[in-house]
Structure 1
Amino acid sequence: MRGLPFLADVVETGEVLGLDPQLPPEKIGEVLGDYAENHWHDAMTRDYGLVEFSWLERPDGNGWWGHHFTVQVHRLSRKPNKTAGKVIRARYGKFDKQFPFEVLRAELERRGIELIEVDKGAGLGAREYWNPAAHVSIFVIDEDGDPINGMVWAISSADMANFIATRPYKGQDKALWRVLKHLMPLDDAAREQWAEDVDEPYGWWLKQFQLLRERIESRDQPKDREAWIRLQFWVIEHGAFTDAQRALLYDGCRWIGEYYPEWAALVPTVDQVVRRCLDAITGDDLTPDTKTLVDAARYHAEQVEDPALAARLREWTARRFR
C-alpha cells in the first residue's frame, strides 16, 4: 500500500523522519516546516498536517519539553497527499486513504516487530497495540458496523511499560497497603531481612512506589509524611528495578523537595540524580531508553554543580541532538 512504509517506520523507530517526541519545537520545525499552533494552559501542540507534536512548558518558563507526537492516520481519508505534506511525500511518495491494521501488522511482523495488545477496558471504540522497543502505540477502530472498523486511526508515541507492568495488580490496593503498613515501623535491618524472602517482579514494586507517592501527596498525612518518604526511597533501592528504572524513579521524586521544603534534605540532589541517569546508560547507541535517560538528566543541566558531571552531560546532550 502507498504510504505503508512510512507508518511502519514510525512504529519501528519511534520517530517521524528521524524526529523523536522529546526534541524541542525548533528542531521539529527545521524538518517539517509550516504548522498551525495551539496552546492549552502549559501545553503546546504544533500541527503539521498528518503529524502533530506536543510539548509542555518547563516549570521555570525557560522553553519546552517534548511530550508526544501523533500521526493522525484518519486524516488521510479526504485528501491523503495534501495531508501527508511535501516533506513526508518527498521521502515516501503518495499515500492511500486508509490502512487496515492487519496490513500494517503483517509488515511489522515481516520486520520482526512484535506488538502487545493493551487492554484499557471495553467500550472505548478502539483497540490499542504497543511496540515496547520504540515506545509507540497504534490505535485501531473497533466498532461493529462502522465502515472503517479495523482501520488504523492514529499512531502515537507512548510509554506503556509501567501501565502494562502494574496491570496485574489492579484492584489489589488493599493487599499492597497491608505490605507497606507492615514495613512502615520496621528498621532497615528488619526490612532487608523481609526483602530477602520477597520474589516479586518489577510491576509489583512499581505499584508499591505509586501507592507511596499517593500517600505522600495526601494532605491527610502531615505527621508521618517523613516516614512515608523514607519508605519510598527504601522501596526504590531494594525493589526489583534496573539501574535505569531506579534512576528515573529518583528523578520522579525531585518534586518532594519542591512541595515540602522541610523534607528537601531527604531527596537526592540534582547531581546524584543526573549521575544515576548517565551511569544507567548502556552502550553507545541512542536507543529510546538512552534518550529517556539523557532527557531526564538534561532537565537539570543548569543546576549541576560538579564540573566533570556537567561536561559529561553536555557530551551526551550534544550526541542526543546531533
Structure 2
Amino acid sequence: MTNLEFFVDLAVTGTVLGLDHTSTLAEFEACFALTHASAYPDSLVTDAGLVEFGWQRWHGGDPWTATYFGAQAHRLDRLVEQEQVESPLQARYGEFPARVHVDDLLAATAAAGYPLRQVPERDENCVAYWSPVSDMHVLATAGNSTDQNSTDRNSTDRNSTDQNGTGDPVPPGTVLKMLGPQPWWPWHRYLGRELEFAAHARQLLSAERSAWLDAHDPVDEPPEVRRDWWGCLTTMVWRKTKEPGPVVALHREAAERAVCTVAEAALAEIGVLVRAHGKGVPAGSTDEATTRWLAHVPPAGDLRSDRVLRNQIHEVGQGLPHLADPALAEAVRPWLDLRPELLADGRVPRLVTD
C-alpha cells in the first residue's frame, strides 16, 4: 500500500490541512499558491494543483463561500512526474503516489475506524463512495477488485476509462476525484418515486399538516429510512411552493417528532430563509431559528462531533447578515471564532505518529 495518509485524512476529516468548505478564500490563499484560477462575477475556481476549491457569491460585494473542495486525484500521475504536488502537502505528508487505488483507500479508512459507504453512480464506468463522517465523495474507475466483473488492478482493459485528460487509459479502481461536501442524498433511497412524493406534497399542502403527517409519517421504519422520507417530502414541498413558510413548518415538525435534532431543524430553517432572500420571510424568523440553535449546540470533543459542530457553525454563520438583533449576532460570533480551531490539524488521530 502506498502513502495514503493525505487521502485518508481528506476522506475522514473532510479537510485539507485544516481547510474545507467552511473556510474563507483568505484562509485558502494563506495556505496554497494558486496555479490557476477561473473567475466569474458569481463563481470562482481556485486550483493549486492536486487541491481545488470552488466558490460562489450571490452578489458582487458578498464574501466568497466555498461550494466544493478536495483533491483532483486524476492529476496525480502528471503532478508526481513533474514534481508539482503542492509544497504544503509534501511538507506534511512526504512523497505522493502517482495513483491511488480505491481498494487501498477503502481498506485504510476502514482500518482507521471510519469506513466509506458505496453509493449509486450514474456513470457506468465509475464507482462512488461516501463518508458518513465528512460527507466526502470518492469517484473511481469501475472494475476494482471488489467488483465481481473486475480484472487485475494493473490492467488497462475494457473497464478502464480516460479520466485523466491525457488520452491514456486509466486502470480499473483508480481514484479520480475526492470532493465534498456531498451530504447524503435522500433520493438515493427513493429514486424513481418523485411522482409519489409530488402527490404527497400536494396532499400535505391542502390538508391539516399535523393530521396528514400523523397518517403518513413512516414511524415504524428504521430511523435512516424515515429521515430520508422526510428529506424527500421537504424537498418536494419546496419545489412546489418556493415559499419558506411550509418548509420551515416541516422542519419544525421533524424536530418535534424526533426525526432530527432541534439544532439540525433550526439550521435547516436558516438555510431555507437565506435561500428565500427575504421573500415571504416574516421579520425575526432567522433570529428565532438562531436562538434555538444556540440553545441546542451539539457537543464537541472527538473527530465525529467536531466535524458536526464545524459544519453547524458554518451554517449558522450564513444567517448572520440576516439577524435583526445585534445582541444575537454578538452571541454567534464566538462560535464563528471557534470554527477554524475544530479539526485544525486535519488529521485522523489514529494515523498520527511521533
Fold match by TM threshold 0.5:
yes
Residues 241-277 of structure 1: CA deviation (Å, up to 9, x unaligned)? 32233123212321575374xx333x76221232233
- What are the residue-to-residue correspondences of 1:120-131 with 2, within 5 Å? 120-123=121-124, 125-131=125-131
- How many angstroms apart in 2 are the aligned matches of 1:135 and 1:116? 11
Q: Does residue 96 of structure 2 align to residue 92 of structure 1?
A: no
Mapped contact 2:267–2:316 kept (Cα < 8 A): no
1:222 maps to which residue? none
How many aligned positions are there?
Answer: 306
2:320 to 283, 301, 316: 301
Gaps of 5+ in 2: 144-157, 161-169, 342-354
Corresponding residue for residue 281 of structure 2: 264
The alpha-carbon distance between structure 1 residues 74 and 120, as it changes in their structure 2 partners (threshold 3 A), is closer
Structure 2 CA distance, aligned partners of 1:183 and 1:132? 31
The answer as to whether partners of 1:50 and 1:76 remain within 8 angstroms in 2 is yes
Instruction: State the identity %.
Output: 22
Q: CA deviation at 1:69?
A: 0.8
Q: Name the counterpart of 2:52.
A: 52
Secondary structure of 1:287's counterpart equals helix
Q: Is the 8 A contact 1:76 1:83 kept in 2?
A: no
Equivalent residue for 1:234, pick from 220, 224, 249: 249
Alignment of 1:18-167 (within 5 A): 18-59=18-59, 61-80=61-80, 82-123=83-124, 125-142=125-142, 144-146=158-160, 147-161=170-184, 163=185, 165-167=186-188
Task: Using the TM superposition, give the Cα deviation of residue 105 of structure 1 relative to its aligned residue in structure 2, in angstroms.
Answer: 1.4
Number of the residue aligned with 1:208: 233
Residues 192, 152 of structure 1: CA spacing in aligned structure 2 closer, same or farther, 3 A cutoff?
A: closer
Q: Please list, as runs of the form range in 1=range in 2, the aligned pairs for 1:307-318 lying within 5 A after superposition.
A: 307-318=326-337
**What TM-score, normalized to structure 2?**
0.77
CA change 1:214–1:250 in 2 (3 A) is same
1:80 partner SS: helix
Where does the alignment leave 5 or more consecutive residues of structure 1 unmatched?
A: 218-224
Instruction: Give 1:159 deviation, angstroms.
Output: 2.5
Q: State which drifts further: 237-246 or 177-186.
A: 177-186
C-alpha displacement of 1:148:
1.6
Tell me, what secondary structure is at the counterpart of 2:16?
Answer: coil
- Would the aligned equivalents of 2:247 and 2:272 in 1 still touch at CA under 8 Å? no
C-alpha contact (below 8 Å) 2:263/2:298 kept by paired residues: no
1:249 aligns with 2:268: yes
CA contact (8 A) 1:2 1:94 kept: no
SS of residue in 2 equivalent to 1:253: helix
Separation of aligned partners in 2, 1:234 and 1:199: 22
Distance in 2, matches of 1:21 and 1:193, equals 37
Aligned partner of 1:221 in structure 2 is none
Query: CA separation in 2, counterparts of 1:170 and 1:178?
Result: 15
Q: Is the 8 A contact 1:277 1:296 kept in 2?
A: no
How far 1:71 moved relative to its partner?
0.5
**SS of equivalent residue, structure 1 residue 132:** coil
